[in-house]
């Protein structure tokens, strides 16, 4: 049982506020991904949980125990560093054994655990080597094995795959997911790569400028972004936004078409729809095609709607060329609305999400 609670954590570097009132609960055995652009504070938050950085304010709880005053070694955590930090002067075996030796495990137990985790990470044959004799991918495996060997309550990972080439990253991603699910460890995983986040996470916390803007499961984050920032950040290509003007009858005009929307005081809203949630139709939002990119499975069409850029992924059989004017019909239940003044999502009904 290892639940992590982060309460009102803030961090200032001199006058720069890197983290701002972070609240987050990670449940036992959950795989939580911190996702955000570079510089948004992911590493800082992870290091505060690890105890490598001291929060300016707030509390960190692991297993119903307040740990923010404890040194890293007493927090029951293990960590995989972005640059792996595999000790160069120790063999792979001794690297994996390092934490166990520090915690005075009997040597028979150490040997057993090292071999077990090495086997799990497919590095049994490298045990006698030094880090200088390993490839990036192998070093990464050693770093994970070293963490897993501790059988920690919590495993923290800071962009562990970002230094690998694309193919290896894909392979390690799947492997990591399997191994961690097996180990029943609570995991916090930092990444700026949304595909990685989507594929690994039980839950994603999207961060922006030192804040957590939304924490939810991947599909919910994708379908129901809590803020315009999330909608524009998640998805490749991201969500489209169009200006919606309120009509006298309470409906909304988007690209010349009327749509049902929220009933609220605002006179303009941001209408949002994902590129794959529109279809070609006889009537609909008028769009002038600027670029057509055939991607095999579908066409990625970049158009102009009243001066705003709008992307649609359409069936690859569609016969569309640059300069055409097309009509796009959004799938009604996939339309989302955002308040342009604060970027928050505008719910349809007062008691809706």
Q: Under the rule (CB under 6 A), what is the footprint of ligand ADP?
A: 13, 16, 18, 36, 38-44
- Beta carbon of residue 30, minimum distance to other proteins (angstroms, whole number): 20
> What DSSP state is assigned to residue 347?
P
CB of 154 to ligand ADP, least distance (A): 18
Question: Which of other proteins, ligand ADP, Mg ion, none interacts with 41 (beta carbon under 5 to 8 A by kind)?
Answer: ligand ADP
- Interface stretch with other proteins, choices 67-75, 177-185, 265-273, 317-325 (CB under 8 A): 67-75
| 229 vs 241, beta carbon nearer ligand ADP | 229
Contact map string, positions 80 to 109, toward other proteins, x by CB under 8 A: -x-x-x-xxxx-------xx--xx------
* Measured CA angle at 75 (ends 137, 33), to 5 deg: 50
- Give the whole-angstrom CA distance, residue 259 versus residue 255: 10
For tokens 């690890």, what's the residue? 50
The answer to whether 71 contacts other proteins (rule: CB under 8 A) is: yes
Chosen residue from 77, 120, 207, 254 binding other proteins by CB under 8 A: 77
How far, in Å, CA of 276 to CA of 205, rounded?
Answer: 24
Query: Which residues in the 144-173 window bind other proteins by CB under 8 A?
Result: 146, 150
What is the C-alpha separation between 90 and 206, in angstroms, rounded? 37
Indicate the DSSP class of residue 267.
S
Burial of 225-238, coded b for 16+ CB within 10 Å and e otherwise, reads bbbbbbbbbbbeeb
Q: Which does 40 bind (CB under 5 to 8 A by kind): ligand ADP, Mg ion, other proteins, none?
A: ligand ADP
Nearer to ligand ADP, 26 or 289 (CB): 26
**Mask of contacts with Mg ion, 32-61, x by CB under 5 A?**
-----------x------------------
Dihedral of alpha carbons 306, 309, 313, 317, sign: positive
Per-residue buried b or exposed e for 138-168, using 16+ beta carbons within 10 Å of the residue's own CB: bbbbbbbbbbbbbbbbbbbbbbbbeebeeee
**Site for other proteins, rule CB under 8 A:** 50-52, 71-73, 77-79, 81, 83, 85, 87-90, 98-99, 102-103, 129-133, 146, 150
């Amino acid at each position: 049982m290892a639940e992590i609670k982060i309460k009102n954590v803030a961090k200032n570097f001199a006058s720069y506020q890197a983290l701002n009132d972070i609240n987050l609960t990670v449940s036992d055995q959950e795989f939580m991904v911190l996702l955000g652009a570079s510089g948004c504070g992911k590493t800082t938050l992870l290091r505060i949980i690890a105890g490598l950085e001291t929060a300016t304010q707030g509390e960190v709880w692991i297993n119903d125990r307040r740990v923010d005053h404890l040194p890293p070694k007493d927090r029951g955590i293990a960590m995989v560093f972005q640059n792996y930090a595999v000790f160069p002067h120790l063999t792979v075996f001794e690297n994996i054994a390092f934490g166990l030796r520090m915690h005075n495990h009997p040597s028979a137990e150490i040997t057993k655990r090292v071999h077990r985790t090495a086997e799990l990470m497919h590095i049994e044959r490298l045990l006698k080597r030094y880090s200088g004799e390993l490839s990036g991918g192998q070093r990464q495996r050693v770093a994970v094995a070293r963490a897993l060997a501790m059988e920690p309550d919590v495993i923290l990972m800071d962009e562990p795959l970002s230094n690998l080439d694309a193919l290896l990253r894909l392979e390690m991603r799947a492997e990591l997911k399997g191994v961690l699910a097996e180990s029943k460890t609570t995991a916090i995983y930092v990444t700026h790569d949304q595909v990685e986040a989507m594929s690994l996470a039980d839950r994603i916390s999207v961060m922006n400028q030192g804040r957590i803007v939304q924490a939810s499961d991947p599909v919910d984050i994708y379908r129901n972004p809590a803020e315009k920032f999330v909608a524009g950040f998640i998805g490749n290509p991201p969500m489209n936004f169009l200006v919606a003007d309120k009509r006298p009858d309470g409906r909304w005009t988007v690209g010349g078409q009327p749509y049902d929307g929220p009933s609220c005081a605002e006179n303009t809203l941001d209408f949002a729809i994902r590129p794959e949630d529109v279809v070609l139709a006889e009537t609909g939002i008028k769009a002038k095609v600027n670029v057509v990119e055939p991607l095999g499975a579908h066409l990625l069409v970049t158009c102009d709607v009243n001066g705003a850029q709008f992307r649609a992924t359409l069936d690859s059989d569609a016969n569309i060329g640059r300069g055409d004017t097309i009509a796009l019909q959004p799938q009604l239940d996939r339309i989302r609305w955002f308040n342009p003044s604060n970027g928050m999502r505008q719910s349809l009904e007062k008691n809706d999400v």
